[in-house]
Amino acid sequence: MAIRKCKPITPGMRGMSYLVQDVAKKKPEKHLLAKQKSSGGRNNLGRVTAKHRGKGAKRRLRIIDFKRDKIGIAAKVVAIEYDPNRSANIALLHYLDGEKRYIIAPLGLKVQDRVSGGEEAKFLPGSSMKLKDIPIGTEIHNIELRPKSRGQLVRAAGTSAQFIAKEGDFAHIKLPSGEVRLISLECMATIGRVGNVDWENVNFGKAGRLRLRGKRPHVRGVAKNPHDHPMGGGEGKTSGGRHPCNFKGLLAKGKKTREKNKPGDKFIIKRRKQ
């Protein structure tokens, strides 16, 4: 995998780059696809709740196995595929019992490799097991927050968490943000770092590529009218004396917005880097 820079033939191509990936040139598995309706950032009442979303290329959702609940059954990696809905690539697995599933492709996983799950699984990238069976110091991803739920933490391209220590019934996990969190030893996790590491170094170059991804133009709040944004209005370049905030008036840029006394606070040992 490498990043290829474009020649500056046009202003939009100046600085543009894209990934050259070794992914399968095939259609995705039909029974592992689902319809995905574009919301345009609107809720069930038709009101915009997430700004700057809409249009973009039509996508179909790939059904990913975040649970990894097939224990003791080996699987062969048949293909590494592109997924338009996430930054990481996905791997198509063929299990020995005939079932096919998609998983997030970890770094170093190749076609024809074998992966499995459970306490007797081989310690290789892509294998999943409970935290109690994983050695301390291992890089992991796709981590469950509660036993028998599904992997929710560390799923983006190039990310990994570090298994720091075991204490009683809990494991100390250092997340990519720097936060150290207690997670039950009965939770499942996948060995290795998520692949497609160079994703963060891609320069989209022009607005058109982001429009294809469903991102609409972003307008600064101070450039709007008072009716449209709390920081709008005024004569010349002025923010109206308001602390930086979003269109709903919620403070941002340095102001802590996390709710106090959340149920999960007791599991956080060290806060993320500020």
DSSP 194: B
Position 244, amino acid: P
User: What value does the mean pLDDT take over residues 27-55?
Assistant: 92
What spatial distance separates the first Cα and last Cα of the chain, rounded to whole Å?
Answer: 32
- Summarize pLDDT for 108-151 with one digit per residue, the tens: 899 999 999 988 888 999 999 999 999 999 999 999 999 999 99
Q: Tens digit of pLDDT for each residue in 227-273?
A: 888 888 888 877 666 778 888 888 888 888 888 889 989 999 999 87
**pLDDT at residue 180 tops 80:** yes
pLDDT in tens, 205-226: 999 999 999 999 999 888 888 8
For domain 21-200, give its CATH number from 3.40.1190.10, 3.30.470.20, 3.30.390.30, 2.40.50.140: 2.40.50.140
Cα 6 from chain centre: 27
| Amino acid at site 193 | R
Q: Where are the domains of the chain?
A: 21-200
Cα(48)–Cα(120) distance, integer angstroms = 49
Enter the pTM of the model.
0.88
